[in-house]
Structure 1
Amino acid sequence: MIEGRTEEQKRAVIEKVTQALVDAVGAPKENVRVWIQDVPKENWGIAGVSAKDLGR
């Protein structure tokens, strides 16, 4: 994920991804692990251009 999300937003992503896996594949909630890696904008490319250069 491109850097810049708040801790609250990351918590929401973790909760929703976990629930999606529980719902989609029946995984026990206790077995779901979610890893968020903040990627600097200059290291994220979209259509051949860095996210930083795109103003993201």
Structure 2
Amino acid sequence: MPATTTADTITHILEHEHALRTNQAAYSADDVAALDPGLRWLAGHRWPACAAAAGAR
């Protein structure tokens, strides 16, 4: 995670991860590109194809 990651960011990441795991949320490449750095890190490490698609926009 980026050095500037806070406890609030971790909480936010866990909420997003739960939503993704339970199919309560889905992200497009544009959505991933707009995420804050901590969430982009999660997407890049958990779902590399999604992060790669965001970088290719």
Report the TM-score range of the alignment, normalised by the length of the smaller protein: 0.3 to 0.5
Instruction: Calculate the TM-score normalised by the size of structure 1.
Output: 0.36
TM-score (norm 2): 0.36
Relative to its length, the structure with more helix (as a share) is 2
Q: Which has the higher strand share?
A: 1
